[in-house]
Amino acid sequence: MTVTTTDTKQRIIEAAAHAMIEKSYNGVGLSEILNEAQVPKGSFYHFFKSKEHLGIAVVEKAAADKCHRLREHFSNRKLTPLARLRGVFEEVRTDVLEGNVRSECVLCKLALEQAALSDLMRVAIHSAFDQFKALTSQVLREAQAEGEIDANLDAETLSDFLTVSFHGAMIRVEIDNELRAVDNFLHYVFEVLLK
């Protein structure tokens, strides 16, 4: 089997994401990332201008993966729009229980660590959150059209609130090492705010 340049680039991005989750952006060096990816250092600069550009690629890959998952959930017409929305958050809760959530938290981790230090990374992270907000806004508008939630609520503002609140809850899960923040989010959003 021939290894393509796309495979090599993806291995670097995946190794970087793993290392940045485990140690942080500033806590991991390029040599460590490239050793994990089994890629020579010279190959790195074929794909990326700098570690900062690699960080942007990590953000874009995490955002693309998350958007793909959101689209899958939100396109399930067997469920009501509100059930589709809740299902997204409940799936993440299940991932936390199974120990699989850290891959998505790379966005939160890089946002906290790099947004104030790198304009390029900040813009990439902002774009990721805008994508999540747009997809969530659409399902909220569907929920409004079906009478599940108040039609007078601004879907974009509500989507932004949900996105920010949930990511805040995920940060709290990292801090507390327990699910209470996610459970509180689910309760107050779906049993109080959107009921």
* CA atoms of 78 and 87, how far apart (whole Å): 12
* Residue 104: per-residue pLDDT: 55
Q: How many CB atoms lie within 10 A of CB 41?
A: 10
Contact between residue 120 and residue 65 where contact means Cβ atoms under 8 Å apart: no
* Region of 77 on the Ramachandran plot (φ > 0 left; ψ -120 to 50 alpha; else beta): alpha
The mean pLDDT of the chain is: 91
- Does the pTM surpass 0.85? The reply is yes
Tens of pLDDT, residues 145-188: 999 999 999 999 999 999 999 988 988 887 888 899 999 999 99
* CA atoms of 168 and 182, how far apart (whole Å): 9
Tens of pLDDT, residues 47-75: 999 999 999 999 999 999 999 999 999 99
Helix (H/G/I), strand (E/B), else coil: 174:
helix
Radius of gyration of the chain (CA): 18
Does residue 1 carry a pLDDT above 50? no
| Residue type, position 69, single letter | R
End-to-end CA distance of the chain: 54
Tens of pLDDT, residues 96-135: 888 765 555 788 888 888 888 899 999 999 999 999 999 9
Domains parsed from the chain with CATH numbers: 57-193 (1.10.357.10)
* Residue 177: per-residue pLDDT: 84
* CA atoms of 53 and 59, how far apart (whole Å): 10
Does residue 81 carry a pLDDT above 70? yes
